[in-house]
Structure 1
Amino acid sequence: MRTGHRILGIGWGRALALSACFALSSIWPTPTPAAHDPKQRTLIAVFPEQFPPVFQVTGNNVPTGFGIEVMEELAARAKLHIVYRPTRTWGEARDTLWAGDADLIPNLGITPARQKDFDFSLPLTRTPVSVFVRAEMRDVKSLDDLIAKGRRIASGKINVAHELLRDRMGIKLRDYDTIGEMLAALDRGEVDALVYPDPTVEQMAHQLNLTHRIRRIGPPLIVLERAVAVRKGNRALLDILNKEIVAFTGTPHYRAIYERWYGTPPPLWTTERVVYLIIAVLTLAVGFGAYARYRLLKRANAFNSAVLNTAVEGILTLDAHGIVRSANRAAERMFRRESGGLGGAALRALFTEIEAVQLHRRLRELLRRPAGQSNLALESTGLRADGETFPIRLGIAPAKIGAERLFVCTVHDLTDQRRAEHEAEYLTDHDPVTGLLNQRGILLVLANLLELARRNQRLLACLNLGIDRFVQINEMYGRQVGDAILVQVGEFLRRTVRGADLVGRDEETLVARLGGNRFLVVLPETGEAGARTVAEKLLAGLGHLTHEVRGELLHLTGKVGVTCYPEHGASAEELVSRAEITLRQAQEHPLDAILVFSAELREQETRTHYWLQRLHTAIEEGRLVLHFQPVLRIADRTVRHYEALVRLQEPDGTLVFPGDFIPAAEKSGLITRLDYRVLELAFSHLAGLEAAGRDVSLAINISGAHLGDDALFRWLQRVFDEGGVTPGRVLFEITETAAVRNLLRAKAFMEPLRALGCRFVLDDFGVGFTSFAHLRVLPVDTVKIDGSFVRDLPMNPQNRALVKAMTDVAHSLGKQVVAEYVESADILAVLRELGVDYAQGFYIGRPGPELTFTRPG
């Protein structure tokens, strides 16, 4: 992949001119840079350590990159002294500046959201931000294709992608800390695309050897201006920086810095440039007299030696027989030789025997090639003085000095690159938190084990273990504690599997972390009975694990879903997918700690798939409609409040009720897209009612999947800011079960929306866990008593007492009460007697496409 930036090159004329300058600089003295003035102002700059080409940190912890070089030049011009502090992520850099622990970020994209927190200098660069996908995804040509197919998109946690995509319906964003993590996730299929600045993606992909695995689609989403960011209100610093930016950005020095980092310049000391430099110095020497020639040659030789010895890459000169004539210090360090220790060395002393023979043959071939076709680039294996081998890249060009044929070789050590490639390859198959195989890795191993089982007619089982309450643990104690628990559980599973003596397999190939709180254990030569035994052993052992946090001991429990070969699937994907389905079912039924995949679950899987297809099609074709059921205020028998209920309309006009398709949507995650569509329909209807002057409120059901969803809050805030819908006319209904299960998330979701004027209804009240205890904590305005308490209210004194108690407690906490399933005048009379505020049910009015109400007799 290429960015399209101009490549910096040096022609013959420029090479000779530069050589002349180098030679003359050795004759005339140059001024020495002044030492740092202690009176200069010292500023602290923060930046993420891996954001090439803008920022990166070398192996010696030296900050470098376009942003650093430009900042250094601006600081020198303004007589400022900069202290650089790298951070692991953009989020840490932003928080450090925002907290006042730093003065600036040298280069940050300008967005409206960031301008609220920081002040920005004049722009330094403009950078395109695009969408990247895996190379094999040929059917995806634009962002709209990704949205239409419900694909997952990776984004940096504070990246501009959030501002670009947060309001797009159907977007599934997944946050990562660094671009390296995003590329690895894209490569292993954890996400389908990523949105990030083009140069950073391309350079990191090159470093990770993923260039051929990804491609950019469509035009850039935005071309982002980047500038120096300072703390809000620091106008004095901005004035200083802006003055120097105006003076500097039009200079050749600025353009050279830009092309060095954003272009694809050749290495500073290529073979051709070394040869050009030697020829240029010799050419200059010819023009002087004998004495002057002697002095210039002497100085030129010293200069050449200095240049070669400061080059990062190794440079060797070989004769026609492959004997080393000269070597710079980088080459000596690379081959671990003392100064001068490479002179006279043969190829077999620097390369393995096979590589030395092949290189001799290639050198002879070079001598027979026509001029202009004799350069050679190849990879080989070097041999250090202590016998260690290492990968290298060689660039070889023939040269002729007098009658002698020589070869000038550049040598690049590939050890660090190979190590990075191996680490990246390792991370594609392994979980970075626990070191266990990830889902991709275990699927490969499981496929091999299934092939063996199929060939030998053996059994195999998979156990999918999920840790209970893991989301709450992360929320209450932090991600660091959650990660420590994952590592502890992973070690426990390794020990347990090792003790099970499972056909001699390496224990690490039998345990994997699938993601979140889920681990997979593969049991070769094990049937259902044996799998249950191991599952019981795992759960018993898990129950003995404890983790101490702030003096408190956390006890762990879990659930296990079991699938067996060949009964429950023939492929690795089938067994793992059905183990996930079985685990989810076990987690929904607290009494089933161990659940085996069954025909019933297979039928549920088929039914879920069937309804998902129908629901996808209905959403795409606009066949979701709303019906409205009135809610009666009992005191004055008026209706100013309706509940919006979704229906799926078949092509023939038949209506499908939500009980048929909502469970499938919740299991698959499609519920979030469904909720957005229902909100759009409800808000459109409500805007029309407000425009017509009707004083009506709508209650809209929200799935528990949205609790804590910042993206939904921002979307709602934007809708309310645009006008047309008054927040005070919107009620959100959330089930008690979902709210109590995610108590902290529920509060975090409700409180900012209540601050905007929205109201909340706690649905199905009374069937949750500890209703009265949590009613004090949850910021709801109304509770809706579950219909199971209301249906037989006139004939059931126990339910009458419970409804009375719930009503009194709700009123004492300042909350109103709605009773649902009001299907007769007798029920309505009892509710009036018990002090219930509102009634909803068929006796009050059936749901319909219009907001209609006929007062009951």
Structure 2
Amino acid sequence: MQARKRSDMAPDPNTTVLLIEESPTLRYALERLLRDSGFAVAAAETFSAGLERLSAAPGAAGIGVVIIGWPVHTRPEADDLFTLLEEPDLAAVPVLVMVTDPEPATRAWVVRRSHTAMLDWRLHTEAVATLNALRAAGEAGAAELEPPLADQGGTRILFVDDSPSVRAYYRRLLSGQGYRLELAANVDEGFDKARSDAFDIAIIDYFMPGANGDVLCRWLRDDPATRHITTAIFTSTYLDQVIQDSLNAGAAECMFKDEHDALFLARVAAMSRSVAGRRSIEAERQRLQSILNSVGEGVYGVDAEGRITFVNPAARLILGYDENRELLGQSAHELFHYAEQDGTPIAPLSSLLQSSYGSRQILRSWETCFWTREGSSVPIECTVYPLYMAREQQGSVVAFRDISERKNLEERLLWQATHDALTELFNRRYFEEQLEAECQWQQRQRATSALLYLDLDHFKYINDTEGHAAGDALLIQVGRRLLERLRRTDTLARLGGDEFAILLRNIEPEELQEASEAFRAAVSEQDFNYHGKTFKVRASIGAALIDAGTPSPGEALAEADIACHVAKQQGGNRSHVYDPHDRHKDLMDRELGWSNRLREALRVDNFLLHYQPIMPLSGLDADRLPDGSLWNWFAGHPASCHACFEVLLRLRGPDGEAIAPDNFIPTAERFYLMPEIDEWVLRNALLKLGEMNRVFRKACFSINVSGHTLCNRDWPARVQRLIGEHGVDPGCVTFEVTETAAICDMGAARRAINSIRDLGCRFSLDDFGTGFSSFSQMKQLPVDYIKIDGMFVQAMASDPIDQAMVQSMNDIAHCLGRQTVAEYVNSRDILQLLIACGVDHAQGHYIARPLEDPAMVGE
């Protein structure tokens, strides 16, 4: 069925129309019209009567529609009536306003109030149709007239109007929608409140006493503390100038008082959403700013011309600036990347960074330097990305970091790769590179340079006796002395251990000896003092020329090393210039060969031990000595229960032959292999001694030990450990030490001998009589035996002077409480003379030749 038109709707018999009109004629005419149309009408002759009727619960009285004749003049009771109709309880009641000549205030009230219509009295016959349409709109279209949803964001509004009633009305209206409202009566009051509290929106009446609303808009816009407030002008005047002044003053809206409340609230809601959006944008901006500020790397933005648009705190910190304003708007190139690290200026057109700012180029991990506010350069690594906004490039973003620490680390690593950590001189690797470059240069230039190879004399003695700290201090001191003598064009390096090398560039051959001596003197001119002890510093230097005829850097180094070896052989503390015509190189090659053989022998146990008996002479009858070997006779003698043997070292040759120690011991001492060899001898001799004690009730071994080993502070502990491992009686072990140059330090030797003697071992001073200090050393060293050198013993039978020497050495040894042993006893005549001199023990071929296995003797 077709729906009925709104204007033809039948009146509800339960609904009463309240007609308020003071004119009897107009009231009568309208009442008759309504009754004829089926409406129930309740007439009120005054506004007071109508106010009273409406105040008494209109729903209970059945009043569904109100018709009011608008008064010509404003009256309090009429204002109260209109105010009452705007209360929430009556807001949904349809109201028809009858007017003769509508004024702006009438129009504003009608527009503002929902469910309200206005009709000219001259058209009063259309009242019924208007009422039906008003009722139909209330039923079918009420949702369209509903105000916006209540504010959920807690928007704060400052409402400024000089009318108390307007302020009261809009307080109710806006508060009902959830807005937090503050009221002000004029411009000054409004500005004071805006500055003292936080507001989001200001709704300002345009015409007010003292100053108009556009003045307050302008004040709020210009003050940094209030410029965030969204302002709207509220007026009842439709004048272009008012609207223009308001917008020019910064108002975002121009609202009119005669607008419907729903439209007013919709505009306020729109402003509130704008505020919420701005808040969201600001919160996101602050979040991004916080992220930017928290980034450890420096970040700044530039426009296409390279002017700084933003900068984060890390960037300011690296560049030394306190505030953003010192950087913003400035040219990044002119401010901090205008020059190379060495200060060389960079033209803008030549700057890679400057050229990347206005382009779409991405620059990754570019290393350059920035200059701080104080003028110091900072190495940095930066990345440049184009900055796009609304799909258009707006400059670039640069992220950079200070890589000073990394650069310093790289420099330290490079320094460590080319320098010796102890002396801070160049190391062997760097020196060999320089030497190779110099040899190549000499091939092209046909000039002359030289290489000095320096080796400290007796360094191992200081290192072993005083410890590695003393040795390190000595090496540092020597390095400094050599540096003081060095020319700017020369290169000094520590090759390792106590060896130094100097590359002398552009030197004449005839100047080489003098230059070498100058460096040697620089090392030796000052003693080395350490913990109250003073040591003489001596060095041997080998020198070799480098010219176009030098085959290779390795050859030059070998020649200088050979020359240094010659200087040491000649007594040390001297320099020697390599001569290609002498035979020292062949000797060096042989020594290097022996060195390799000895190391291999240690690795695969390729040494041998032989044992030569040492026979006591006490109780022997000189007239009844046999013609042959005396040892076979002695092996069956009761005294054999105390058999003694000197342990002799041999090297097994390629064909199994035994190589005597004279062939390889000098090389072992030269290459500092004696401590390892001595330990091998001791370990294997103690193992054999355990076997010997199963044949003889008490066998004794006399074991040679070198001066280098004796002066090693760890040697006594090793002796104690090995004796304990093999279960040998320490009293069966005697150590022989050489009387000559092998004892490098009398004090260290005495300490070592005392420590080992405390274990129960004994000591013998070997080769006695070969040096000027023999008798002094015999007196100072706490030894048990004196072994008279064979050079005196083997000629006793034919040389009375040698016989007298042996007699004297024997007598002095006995006076000091030492027993004597004579070496090289090769005949019965010599043994008879030794018995006559009172020598205690004898050793030599007449007694017995060295034996491979002494345990088999006597079988």
TM-score tier by shorter-chain length is 0.5 to 0.7
Matched, 1:603 2:592: no
Which of residues 545, 555, 580 in structure 2 aligns to 1:564?
545
- Post-superposition offset of 1:607: 1.0
Equivalent residue number for residue 421 of structure 1: 410
Matched, 1:829 2:817: no
**Cα distance in 1 for residues equivalent to 2:451 and 2:806:** 47
Question: SS of the residue aligned with 2:373?
Answer: coil
Which fold has the larger relative contact order, with Cα–Cα distance below 8 Å and residues 6 or more apart in sequence?
A: 1
Matched, 1:390 2:378: yes
Structure 1 residues 339 and 795, CA, compared in 2 at 3 Å: closer, same or farther? farther
1:467-491 CA distance string (max 9 Å, x none): 5555666789998887777667656
Equivalent residue number for residue 332 of structure 1: 316
Whether contact under 8 Å (1:822, 1:843) holds in the other structure is yes
Matched, 1:356 2:344: no
Matched, 1:800 2:800: no
- Post-superposition offset of 1:818: 1.9
Question: SS of the residue aligned with 1:629?
Answer: strand
Question: SS of the residue aligned with 1:635?
Answer: coil
Equivalent residue number for residue 659 of structure 2: 656
Amino acid at match of 1:608: E
Matched, 1:580 2:564: no
Structure 1 residues 692 and 791, CA, compared in 2 at 3 Å: closer, same or farther? closer
Matched, 1:442 2:431: yes
Question: SS of the residue aligned with 1:706?
Answer: helix
- Post-superposition offset of 1:434: 5.6
**Cα distance in 2 for residues equivalent to 1:699 and 1:737:** 18
Structure 1 residues 808 and 323, CA, compared in 2 at 3 Å: closer, same or farther? farther
Amino acid at match of 1:356: L
Structure 1 residues 292 and 830, CA, compared in 2 at 3 Å: closer, same or farther? farther
Matched, 1:589 2:586: no
| Alignment TM-score, normalising by the size of structure 2 | 0.54
- Post-superposition offset of 1:627: 1.2
1:805-837 CA distance string (max 9 Å, x none): 333343344433222111112222222233322
- Post-superposition offset of 1:433: 6.0
Amino acid at match of 2:353: A
Matched, 1:316 2:305: no
Amino acid at match of 2:317: R
**Cα distance in 1 for residues equivalent to 2:408 and 2:604:** 51
**Cα distance in 1 for residues equivalent to 2:695 and 2:719:** 22
C-alpha RMSD of matched pairs (Å)? 4.5
- Post-superposition offset of 1:456: 3.4
Whether contact under 8 Å (1:822, 1:839) holds in the other structure is yes
Whether contact under 8 Å (2:695, 2:855) holds in the other structure is no
Equivalent residue number for residue 515 of structure 2: 534
Question: SS of the residue aligned with 2:797?
Answer: helix
Which of residues 707, 720, 725 in structure 1 aligns to 2:723?
720
Structure 1: tracts of 5 or more residues without a match: 1-288, 367-375, 499-505
**Cα distance in 2 for residues equivalent to 1:549 and 1:802:** 41
1:108-153 CA distance string (max 9 Å, x none): xxxxxxxxxxxxxxxxxxxxxxxxxxxxxxxxxxxxxxxxxxxxxx
Q: Report 1:216-227 matches (<5 A).
A: none
- Post-superposition offset of 1:604: 0.9
Structure 1 residues 674 and 854, CA, compared in 2 at 3 Å: closer, same or farther? closer
**Cα distance in 2 for residues equivalent to 1:583 and 1:853:** 48
Whether contact under 8 Å (1:560, 1:595) holds in the other structure is yes
**Cα distance in 2 for residues equivalent to 1:292 and 1:463:** 84
**Cα distance in 2 for residues equivalent to 1:523 and 1:724:** 58
1:259-305 CA distance string (max 9 Å, x none): xxxxxxxxxxxxxxxxxxxxxxxxxxxxxx99999999999999998
- Post-superposition offset of 1:744: 3.7
Sequence identity (%) = 30
Mark the structure with the bigger radius of gyration.
2
Question: SS of the residue aligned with 1:762?
Answer: strand
Amino acid at match of 2:588: E
Amino acid at match of 1:845: A
Question: SS of the residue aligned with 2:513?
Answer: helix
Amino acid at match of 2:436: A
**Cα distance in 1 for residues equivalent to 2:824 and 2:432:** 49
Amino acid at match of 1:574: E
1:216-240 CA distance string (max 9 Å, x none): xxxxxxxxxxxxxxxxxxxxxxxxx
Whether contact under 8 Å (2:457, 2:572) holds in the other structure is no
Question: SS of the residue aligned with 2:643?
Answer: strand
Whether contact under 8 Å (1:793, 1:800) holds in the other structure is yes
**Cα distance in 1 for residues equivalent to 2:315 and 2:429:** 41
Whether contact under 8 Å (1:347, 1:356) holds in the other structure is no
Structure 1 residues 426 and 809, CA, compared in 2 at 3 Å: closer, same or farther? farther
Q: Report 1:457-476 matches (<5 A).
A: 457-466=446-455, 468=457
Structure 1 residues 394 and 804, CA, compared in 2 at 3 Å: closer, same or farther? farther
More displaced, 795-804 or 341-350?
341-350
Which of residues 842, 847, 855 in structure 2 aligns to 1:844?
847
Whether contact under 8 Å (1:690, 1:725) holds in the other structure is no
Amino acid at match of 2:380: I
Equivalent residue number for residue 10 of structure 1: none
The size of the alignment, in residue pairs, is 549
Whether contact under 8 Å (1:782, 1:818) holds in the other structure is yes
**Cα distance in 2 for residues equivalent to 1:556 and 1:618:** 34
**Cα distance in 2 for residues equivalent to 1:626 and 1:830:** 31
**Cα distance in 2 for residues equivalent to 1:435 and 1:410:** 38
Amino acid at match of 1:635: S
**Cα distance in 1 for residues equivalent to 2:548 and 2:774:** 43
Matched, 1:735 2:738: yes
**Cα distance in 2 for residues equivalent to 1:720 and 1:682:** 10
Question: SS of the residue aligned with 2:663?
Answer: helix
- Post-superposition offset of 1:568: 9.7
Structure 1 residues 400 and 830, CA, compared in 2 at 3 Å: closer, same or farther? farther
Amino acid at match of 1:462: L
Whether contact under 8 Å (1:392, 1:413) holds in the other structure is yes
Structure 1 residues 678 and 416, CA, compared in 2 at 3 Å: closer, same or farther? same
**Cα distance in 1 for residues equivalent to 2:442 and 2:474:** 33
**Cα distance in 2 for residues equivalent to 1:603 and 1:694:** 51
- Post-superposition offset of 1:846: 0.8
Amino acid at match of 2:553: A
Structure 1 residues 760 and 396, CA, compared in 2 at 3 Å: closer, same or farther? farther
Structure 1 residues 703 and 472, CA, compared in 2 at 3 Å: closer, same or farther? closer
- Post-superposition offset of 1:628: 1.0
Whether contact under 8 Å (2:737, 2:743) holds in the other structure is no
Structure 1 residues 682 and 491, CA, compared in 2 at 3 Å: closer, same or farther? closer
Question: SS of the residue aligned with 2:320?
Answer: coil
Structure 1 residues 546 and 754, CA, compared in 2 at 3 Å: closer, same or farther? closer
**Cα distance in 2 for residues equivalent to 1:582 and 1:485:** 23
Equivalent residue number for residue 173 of structure 2: none
Structure 1 residues 472 and 712, CA, compared in 2 at 3 Å: closer, same or farther? closer
Structure 1 residues 339 and 730, CA, compared in 2 at 3 Å: closer, same or farther? farther
Question: SS of the residue aligned with 2:378?
Answer: strand
Equivalent residue number for residue 65 of structure 2: none
Q: Report 1:738-749 matches (<5 A).
A: 738-749=741-752
Amino acid at match of 1:583: C
| Alignment TM-score, normalising by the size of structure 1 | 0.54
**Cα distance in 2 for residues equivalent to 1:457 and 1:400:** 64
